[in-house]
């Protein structure tokens, strides 16, 4: 089968440039892939071709990440509301009026905000370690929670270690059953962008604002209960941040949710691309997304 071609674009959304990957037929059902921390749409480089023979796939880089603009943290308010604003702006610019979302890590609060704002547009949700329940937060969140409750310089500085090369590689390797499956360009590219001037401050601002995502959990749950979107959770069960209880919790509000666990960590697509990609494809193919 001929491999679908991916195109790489950068467009102005309001005052900033947003980079995105796009593939698939123009008239295909739209699937929007939303990346997490500390990565970019690059994390979906191999999933895109698995979907794009049938689906119109759009994978943006969030503002401050990848090849999208990363304005200085003193000139731009790095909040999840603002990250969502630019994804919404991109979809509006592209005239996308119906779409499924695949969310991961930071992409989850962005995607769930999109769903709150556009419930009539969401055709399905796929969550790969994209949390929405307090029971999904591991003990690894303790330093962040301390920063949320006491946003002092000392607590902010305690989180700087998370942007080091050792820390980012740890996120990729922890829980992975075979580290040789993890492409080195994944965490190396992440580190390249992380090392940009003042980028560490951007990430610390987003760490602080992550508290707003937890505060929105009840609103996300209400959306799930009211609209019952078709839902698939594909979860690396050894994720040090978002534990399996968070995946199981979706069934409280979405009793028909499909939940699958895999013997891997946070970046599950790096080690389990084929099986997860097949699960996503089968899920989407079983729906009427028009």
SS3 39: coil
Omega before residue 206 within 30° of 0, cis: no
Domain contains 96: yes
Contact (Cβ atoms closer than 8 angstroms) between residue 221 and residue 115: no
Question: What is the model's pTM?
Answer: 0.97
* Per-residue confidence band for 182, with pLDDT thresholds at 50, 70 and 90: very high
Domain contains 266: yes
Name the percent of the chain lying above pLDDT 70: 99
d(CA 276, CA 128): 9
Domain contains 69: yes
- Catalytic residue numbers read 266
Domain contains 243: yes
Domain contains 189: yes
> What is the chain's Cα-based Rg?
18
Domain contains 290: no
Domain contains 276: yes
d(CA 22, CA 60): 9
d(CA 2, CA 41): 22
Residue 254, domain CATH: 3.40.50.1820
Q: pLDDT tens digit string along 211-259?
A: 999 999 999 999 999 999 999 999 999 999 999 999 999 999 999 999 9
DSSP 104-172: -TTHHHHHHHHHHH-TTTEEEEEESS---SGGGB-GGGHHHHHHHH---HHHHHTTGGGGSHHHHHHHH
What local confidence, expressed as pLDDT, does residue 290 receive? 61
Range of the domain at 27: 6-285
Q: pLDDT tens digit string along 112-154?
A: 999 999 999 999 999 999 999 999 999 999 999 999 999 999 9
- Tally the domains of the chain: 1
* Per-residue confidence band for 66, with pLDDT thresholds at 50, 70 and 90: very high
What local confidence, expressed as pLDDT, does residue 288 receive? 78
Contact (Cβ atoms closer than 8 angstroms) between residue 110 and residue 83: yes
């Amino acid at each position: 089968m001929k491999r679908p071609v991916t195109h790489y674009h950068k467009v102005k959304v309001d005052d900033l440039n947003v980079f995105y990957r796009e593939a698939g037929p123009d008239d295909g059902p739209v699937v929007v892939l939303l990346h997490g921390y500390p990565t970019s749409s690059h994390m979906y480089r191999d999933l895109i071709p698995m979907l794009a023979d049938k689906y119109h796939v759009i994978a943006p880089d969030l503002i401050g990440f990848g090849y999208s603009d990363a304005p200085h943290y003193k000139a731009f308010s790095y909040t999840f509301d603002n990250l969502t604003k630019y994804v919404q702006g991109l979809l509006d610019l592209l005239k996308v009026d119906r779409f499924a979302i695949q969310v991961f890590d930071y992409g989850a609060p962005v995607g769930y905000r999109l769903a709150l704002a556009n419930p009539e547009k969401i055709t399905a949700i796929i969550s790969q370690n994209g949390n929405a329940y307090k029971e999904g937060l591991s003990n690894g969140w303790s330093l962040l929670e301390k920063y949320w409750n006491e946003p002092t310089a000392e607590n902010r500085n305690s989180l700087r270690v998370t942007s080091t090369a050792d820390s980012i590689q740890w996120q990729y390797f922890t829980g992975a059953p075979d580290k040789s499956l993890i492409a080195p360009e994944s965490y190396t590219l992440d580190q390249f962008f992380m090392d940009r001037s003042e980028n560490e401050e951007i990430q610390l601002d987003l760490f602080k604002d992550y508290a707003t995502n937890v505060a929105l959990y009840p609103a996300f749950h209400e959306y799930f209960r009211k609209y019952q979107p078709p839902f698939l959770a594909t979860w690396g069960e050894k994720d040090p941040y978002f534990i399996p209880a968070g995946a199981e919790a979706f069934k409280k509000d979405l009793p028909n949710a499909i939940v699958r666990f895999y013997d891997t960590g946070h970046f599950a697509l790096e080690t389990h691309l084929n099986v997860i990609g097949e699960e996503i494809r089968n899920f989407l193919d079983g729906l009427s997304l028009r």
